Amino acid sequence: MLTNWAPSVYSRLSLCEGRQHDPETTVSISQDFRIHDFDRRVCRICAELWLIDVKEINRLQHIAVDKSRLHIPILFGFDVIHGYRTVFPVPLGMASSWDPSVEEQAQRLAGQDARAAGIQWTFTPMVDIARDARWGRIVEGAGEDPYLGAAMAMAQVRGFQGATLGPDSVLACVKHYAGYGAAEGGRDYDSSYIPEELFRNVYLPPFHAAAMQGAGSFMSAYMDLNDVPASGNQWLLTDILRGDLGFKGFVVSDAFAVASLVTHGYAADPSDAAYKAVTAGLDMDMASGTYTNNLPKLVADGKVSQAQLDAAVLPILAIKYQLGLFDHPFTDESKVESTLSRPEGLALERKLAARSMVLLRNENKTLPLSKSLKKVAVIGPLADSKSDIEGGWTVEGLFGSGSKSHPVTVLAGIKSALGADAQVTYVVGPDPSKVYLGLLDQLSGKKVLPAPTAAETADWLAKVKAAAADADVVVAVMGETSGMSSESASRAGMELPGMQQQMLEETAQSGKPVVLVLENGRPLDIHWAAEHVPAILESWFPGTEGGNAVADILFGDVNPGGKLPVSWPRTAGQEPLYYNHNLTHEPEDRPSFASRYWDIKSTPLYPFGYGLSYASFKFDNLKLSKANMKTDEATEVSVDVTNTGAVAGDAVGQLYIHQRSGSASRPVRELKGFKRIALKPGETQTLKFTLGQHQLQFWSPQTKVWAVEPSTFDVWAGDDSAAKLHSEFSVAQ
């Protein structure tokens, strides 16, 4: 039992995590090593990551459990971000469902698969608020809004861990704590400068929600936060996390982030880095070896106390215990394959992928398409790319010896929906990432990949023209390759890369109905398409069954109901762009001295919360149970939603507020409630929301507390952040 152990004896065992397993050192563990050697070697395997060979996992576990002096099992960790073998939509896609049960179901299946395969710890969920789509890691989170982000964070923790951590759970790791998404210029790893009120009101809530949901581990971020690196930041790791958020689990650094404290110019040397990190409250050093190499001396010299070391180790041991690792350290190898290849996983993926897609445009009811179409032209390099449809961070594909999943591309999905009688012509075009890869090659001094020559370009365009001329409908599948929105994958421009824009313009000249299906991990600059292409479907990177899910929507088997979790810019120059900004001295609609650009509107192309359906919905009858209330009271809001269309569909009711005056300026609108519901044609449902302390309070830079302030509040309800249905209420002391 954990309670019978003396933590100080065991404390040296759990402070480090190996980046890769090292058979040389692990097999040689024995009880005979001197303490120093023993520490160094055993520390290497206290937690192990990026290993997905279950036989090797068991072999290492046997060494730890059977042969090491203290018999403490290893915690095996991996980035199971959006699926294990069955890959679900990228997190930004799942957030577009505006349905937390999508995240919960996906992560439950991913967690079951991972645990069956020997992984007990996932570096998920990423809950960083991202207000700048140039930042490539926007794909890994739930977008720009703290309220939606908190709901999605909690759902993912529930999915992985269940109600409480246990032998069937996978330990969630909430990352990247905190403020990573505010990287200056959208450049990954760059510094974040976030005033405390913005930090507490916008960046912190999803972390707080995940901690409340019982997340057992947090990962500290790479960047400087207000000049103090997050991985050595006591205010973040102790005052806020342990104090305000009441977090009881353990904190691991991001990979090599402890060593990076030296690179940042914050620590003088690795010993100073270990000292600054551990005393700030960082419990486990991922991969850099800085703790292994420096903590023994720091403790021996009395710079780090035994009590500080114990405080770092205890939560790690407690979690290993809660995960059942001491009772059941090994994985049943006979069950791995049958678990990973469960057919229900693929069926669930197809359903959740379709639920995550957002219909951005549908002029003249271009969609849904008829299944009796005889000739379809499919255009674009992503349409048949198996390596892109699942997006980044796939376990088997990236880290294993090759994926055993068989992703369905959009081309395959369309062919299977139409059957053998239809003629589907495919024009691929050049790899869209070629131009960027060429640039990277140039930067690293390597060979530059050639962009298509003028003759090649003309040839591709001629092929597109011919295919479109011969087709009844053109489906252009365009966007980014999966590596283009990911870690270390920021973009300064957000246009369709490569030749895709030219190819799209060529299709539009055909006069045939054109549908643009987007595959991407961030909003793109599609302002041309938004005027010239009649139908646009955002599929994100939709996962293993993604092509079938796209076809389900294109041919009307599923009615799209997803909504944008981000404000969609007209062009990259608008970034950072987010709906919950403050009112300005001169708003955009003033005749002069307005807050706007010369060249474009400063509003988004598509607002946060936006998404179309094959049905249409009316919101009315917005009522509040109290028009006047006290700061400790709540008002119940109700609004009727009616399906005014001819087909069944999903509406997402969204509730926004604005506080008109107070101790600080408040955002023009803030999401404070949402619900996705299914409505038959003609059906009306009444949605109910509560506006009380939880929804109305904010952290004021003047009072420095969370409080509901007396004021008048606006309320809007509708199906995006530009909703017009309005009411108001007053709050008095």
- The residue (of 87 and 311) whose beta carbon lies closer to ligand BGC is 87
21 binds ligand BGC (CB under 6 A): no
Which helix (H) or strand (E) segment is 174 a member of? strand 173-177
Do the strands 670-679 and 649-659 form a parallel or antiparallel pair, or are they unpaired? antiparallel
- The runs of H, that is alpha helices, within 221-333 are 234, 260-263, 270-280, 290-300, 306-322
Closest separation between CB of residue 262 and ligand BGC, Å?
17
List strands edge to edge, sheet with 47-49: 121-122, 75-78, 47-49, 16-18, 285-286
Q: SS3 of 306, please?
A: helix
Which helix (H) or strand (E) segment is 106 a member of? helix 100-116
CA 288, 291, 296, 298 torsion-angle sign? positive
Is 254 an active-site residue? Answer: yes
Do the strands 217-220 and 250-253 form a parallel or antiparallel pair, or are they unpaired? parallel
- The residue (of 124 and 711) whose beta carbon lies closer to ligand BGC is 124
Closest separation between CB of residue 119 and ligand BGC, Å?
12
The residue of the chain with the least Cβ separation from ligand BGC equals 123
Q: Which residues of 276-293 are buried (b: 16+ CB within 10 A; e: fewer)?
A: bbbbbbbbbbbbbbbbbb
Closest separation between CB of residue 58 and ligand BGC, Å?
22
Q: Is 581 exposed, middle or buried (0-12, 13-18, 19+ CB in 10 A)?
A: middle
User: Other CB atoms closer than 10 Å to residue 443's CB: what's the count?
Assistant: 8
Residues present in the chain in total: 733
- The residue (of 123 and 160) whose beta carbon lies closer to ligand BGC is 123
What tokens were used for 397? 């594909």
Q: Which residues of 205-239 are buried (b: 16+ CB within 10 A; e: fewer)?
A: bbbbbbbebbbbbbbbbbbbbbebbbbbbeebbbe
Closest separation between CB of residue 443 and ligand BGC, Å?
20
Closest separation between CB of residue 249 and ligand BGC, Å?
16
CA distance readout (Å), 567 to 131, 144, 288, 296, 507: 8, 8, 37, 49, 27
Cα dihedral value 625, 628, 629, 631, nearest 10: 130
Full 3-state SS string of 708-720: CCCEEEEEEEECC
Closest separation between CB of residue 497 and ligand BGC, Å?
23
Which helix (H) or strand (E) segment is 25 a member of? helix 23-27
- The runs of H, that is alpha helices, within 564-677 are none
d(CA 650, CA 355): 9
Q: Among 487, 495, 557, 728, which residue sits at the site for ligand BGC (rule: CB under 6 A)?
A: 487
**Catalytic residue (one of 132, 254, 431, 552):** 254
Closest separation between CB of residue 608 and ligand BGC, Å?
25
CA distance readout (Å), 513 to 34, 365, 572: 75, 10, 28
- The residue (of 254 and 538) whose beta carbon lies closer to ligand BGC is 254
Non-local (6+) Cβ contacts of 359 within 8 A are 367, 535, 536, 537, 538, 553, 560, 562, 611, 612, 613, 614
190 binds ligand BGC (CB under 6 A): no
Closest separation between CB of residue 53 and ligand BGC, Å?
17
- The residue (of 186 and 296) whose beta carbon lies closer to ligand BGC is 186
Q: Among 79, 132, 480, 575, which residue sits at the site for ligand BGC (rule: CB under 6 A)?
A: 79
Closest separation between CB of residue 123 and ligand BGC, Å?
3
Q: Which of 386, 311, 335 is nearest to 15 (CA)?
A: 311
d(CA 451, CA 438): 8
> How many Å from the N-terminal Cα to the C-terminal Cα in the chain?
52
- The residue (of 172 and 564) whose beta carbon lies closer to ligand BGC is 172
- The runs of H, that is alpha helices, within 142-195 are 146-161
Non-local (6+) Cβ contacts of 701 within 8 A are 195, 196, 197, 664
Instruction: Return the half-sphere exposure (C-beta side, CA atoms, 13 A cut-off) of residue 467.
Output: 27
- The residue (of 78 and 275) whose beta carbon lies closer to ligand BGC is 78
Q: Among 38, 88, 98, 123, which residue sits at the site for ligand BGC (rule: CB under 6 A)?
A: 123
x/- binding map, residues 311-350, to ligand BGC, per CB under 6 A?
Answer: ----------------------------------------
- The residue (of 48 and 79) whose beta carbon lies closer to ligand BGC is 79
- The residue (of 47 and 378) whose beta carbon lies closer to ligand BGC is 47
Closest separation between CB of residue 161 and ligand BGC, Å?
17
> In angstroms, how far apart are the furthest CA atoms of the chain?
82
- The residue (of 12 and 44) whose beta carbon lies closer to ligand BGC is 44
- The residue (of 370 and 488) whose beta carbon lies closer to ligand BGC is 488
Closest separation between CB of residue 399 and ligand BGC, Å?
9
Which helix (H) or strand (E) segment is 469 a member of? helix 454-469
Closest separation between CB of residue 255 and ligand BGC, Å?
4
d(CA 19, CA 7): 25
Full 3-state SS string of 391-439: CCCCHHHHHCCCCCCCCCCHHHHHHHHHCCCCEEEEECCCCCCHHHHHH
254 binds ligand BGC (CB under 6 A): yes
Closest separation between CB of residue 316 and ligand BGC, Å?
17
- The residue (of 189 and 706) whose beta carbon lies closer to ligand BGC is 189
Q: Is 316 in contact with 14 (CB distance < 8 Å)?
A: yes
255 binds ligand BGC (CB under 6 A): yes
Q: Is 717 in contact with 691 (CB distance < 8 Å)?
A: no
* Residues near ligand BGC (CB under 6 A), total: 6
Residues 168-187 that bind ligand BGC (CB under 6 A): 175
d(CA 246, CA 239): 10
- The residue (of 75 and 551) whose beta carbon lies closer to ligand BGC is 75
- Residues marked active site are found at 254
**What does the binding site for ligand BGC look like in residue numbers (CB under 6 A)?**
79, 123, 175, 254-255, 487
